Structure 1
Amino acid sequence: MPDPRSVDDRRVAEIVARQSGVVSSRQLVACGLSRSGIARRVSSARLFRVLRSVYSPAPCVDEWGRRWAAVLAIDADRAVLSHWSAGVIHRMLQPRIGPVHVTMPGSGRGGTAGVVVHRSRSLGPDDVVVVRGLRVTTPERTVIDVAARADDDLVRRMIREGEFQGALRDGAVRDAVAGRSGHRGLARVRRTDPATVEGALRQTPLEDELDRLLIRAAVPGLVRQFQVTGASGSVYRTDFACPAIRLAIEADGRSAHRRASAFETDRTREADLGAVGWQTIRFTRIQVSTTPGTVQRLIRDTVRARANQMQPALWRGWTG
């Protein structure tokens, strides 16, 4: 049976296109579709339920559609994407299967299946940016929010990734934390922020990944951010080093263009270190992320060969 009211389907289509494929029941009613008309369209597969009071003309929606649906289901005017959902949007966290996280100002409860609702009295206009039409917590605020519910390692890697991706300028998190109080995540951020923790300042996300491989390889005598003086007198900082066997292990996270332009500099550096007995091995982001087993095996083989050559007695018990 047709809807007794005139439905503006063109307007519905415009809303759906603007909101990544979804529309709320409130918006449908504003376009002339009655509640019973919505139910009939659902039963005839002209609309599909995404979340409570949120629908799509398509049976499936993408991640942006899920984000829009979460905001529409909770409060289209006040809900802000936050926590892990905001971290993914700002490219500081990897996508993961799970609910969408939103923050609502003030106190209280409320939510729906597929959405985690956080409440905050401290969320202000400066904590929010607009991304593809959706209100999202800023990268700095996102770090602080996640820090209230994550461990030190995740927060540290999140900050490094944000700086690496350009979402966070150097010192941005430090500055954001300085003027705040009363948030559960502040203490952890102050403890883990590379801008304020000695020794973590220059490590990159790729170095974090390579670090984990080196830990699994159980390389003895490993030192991070080690300085070596070359034959020319120049001092170089290595990402990782085994000083006892004069082995430098480098994480090469540069783009192909930068690798090409830096080729001569790298070779000069390696020759300078080689003149004082140091060997350098390099691994790219693609190698570390796609073939970690091969990288780990190459590291072990190189360490074993250097150890047998230089320090056989010292390294005889290593079984790496």
Structure 2
Amino acid sequence: MIGDLDEAVGRLAAAQHGVFARRQARELGATGEAIDWRVTCGRWEALPDGVLRMPGAPATARQAVMAATLAYEGAASHSAAAALLGIPGFSLRPVEVTVRRRPYRVAHVAIWHRSRVLSESHLVVVEGITTTSTVRTVFDLAGRLHPGRAERVLDTVLTRNPALVKEFHSMLPELACKGRTGIAVMRELLKRRGPGYIAPASELEARALAALEAAGLPEPIRQFRAGSEHEWIGQVDLAYPDHRLLIELDSRLHHSSLVDMEHDKERYSALAAAGWRVIQATWNLVTRRPERFTALVREALDLHPAFV
């Protein structure tokens, strides 16, 4: 029986980054005395708030998050959830957990948030850790981020999975209780992101679109397939097809060709032969000299009568 218990708890801990809750050990048949005896003799290691660890299990950031979710019977949330979900720019530490009710014990192992609305549909399991879903996590982050960064996080998520836009709109009324931070920001962002919305493919593209909008210029078509009547040349970030104008965005770190050809000279020759004009917009041009960038676009558009 002792061996069976230790084996069962060992399997559980292995699936939970080396930790388990005291209540979980009880569910597997351990008595309070059996648990205390194993802690005393060093078979198990006691952590704060009723969490235990297998000796030798490496103390990792994921283990800390797992331990906090077990201690508070909640879900990893906010920055910790974003990191687990692979949203760029966030860290597992400090550990943050969202709970439905105030924890019985409160040790300083994590930052905890109480939410009256935390249904099962708002939760997922990532690497064995109960975590707020991608959509719920973005709503939570919107309450603390600058609106501009919240928008970039939202578009990053929608770039990866455009179908989530429907879930964002569905969750908005669920969370739109009086006084909840971030709801006003999300409501405004979602007004411009309905069905069929295509998120910017990069931060540079988002900055370029924002600059064009601020300058009062028409919204370009994104991810446009450029070519002639008889030949497809490649896909470009931004385009004004009626004006035969393409905008090629170059990243901060390297030149990323937007058309599928080997050399710039060949690319531009093919585009010119097909009647296209190209504006190359670098990170510095778009972000540090947006007025120059928009002036170039305005001048190019004014060469044709549609916007005159």
Q: TM-score band (shorter)?
A: 0.5 to 0.7
Residue 9 (structure 2) pairs with residue 12 (structure 1): yes
Residue 116 (structure 2) pairs with residue 118 (structure 1): no
CA contact (8 A) 1:104 1:120 kept: yes
TM superposition outliers: structure 1 runs of 4+ over 6 Å: 230-234, 266-269
Distance 1:48 1:178 in 2: 44
Is there any run of 5+ residues in structure 2 with no aligned partner, and where? 252-256, 293-298, 300-308
Distance 1:251 1:111 in 2: 50
- When normalised by structure 1's length, the TM-score is 0.61
Secondary structure in 1 matching 2:165: coil
Distance 1:12 1:136 in 2: 22
CA contact (8 A) 1:174 1:196 kept: no
- Aligned to 2:68, which of 67, 70, 79? 70
- Cα shift at 1:173: 1.6
Structure 1 pair 167/88, CA: closer, same or farther in 2 (3 Å)?
Answer: farther
- Aligned to 1:84, which of 62, 79, 84? 79
Secondary structure in 2 matching 1:118: strand
Secondary structure in 2 matching 1:121: coil
Residue 38 (structure 2) pairs with residue 37 (structure 1): yes
Secondary structure in 2 matching 1:34: helix
For each residue in 1:173-226, what CA deviation from the matched residue of structure 2 results, as whole angstroms up to 9, or x when unmatched? 2332145421322111112348449xx964233436876xxx9xxxxx9x8965
CA contact (8 A) 2:79 2:96 kept: yes
TM alignment of 1:175-214, pairs within 5 A:
175-178=170-173, 180-182=175-177, 183-193=180-190, 195-196=192-193, 202-207=199-204
Distance 1:154 1:224 in 2: 24
Is there any run of 5+ residues in structure 1 with no aligned partner, and where? 216-220, 253-258, 284-294, 305-310, 312-320
1:292 maps to: none
For each residue in 1:272-297, what CA deviation from the matched residue of structure 2 results, as whole angstroms up to 9, or x when unmatched? 654678445588xxxxxxxxxxx759
1:250 maps to: 249
Distance 2:151 2:130 in 1: 25
1:100 maps to: 95
CA contact (8 A) 2:156 2:199 kept: no
Distance 2:200 2:236 in 1: 11
For each residue in 1:23-79, what CA deviation from the matched residue of structure 2 results, as whole angstroms up to 9, or x when unmatched? 2334456446332531441xxxx555555432232252334322221111112xxx1
Q: Which stretch shows the higher mean deviation, 95-104 or 181-190?
A: 95-104
Structure 1 pair 109/48, CA: closer, same or farther in 2 (3 Å)?
Answer: closer
Distance 1:279 1:209 in 2: 19
Q: Which stretch shows the higher mean deviation, 7-16 or 57-66?
A: 57-66
- When normalised by structure 2's length, the TM-score is 0.63
Distance 2:18 2:114 in 1: 27
CA contact (8 A) 1:248 1:281 kept: yes
* C-alpha RMSD of the superposition: 4.8
Secondary structure in 1 matching 2:97: strand
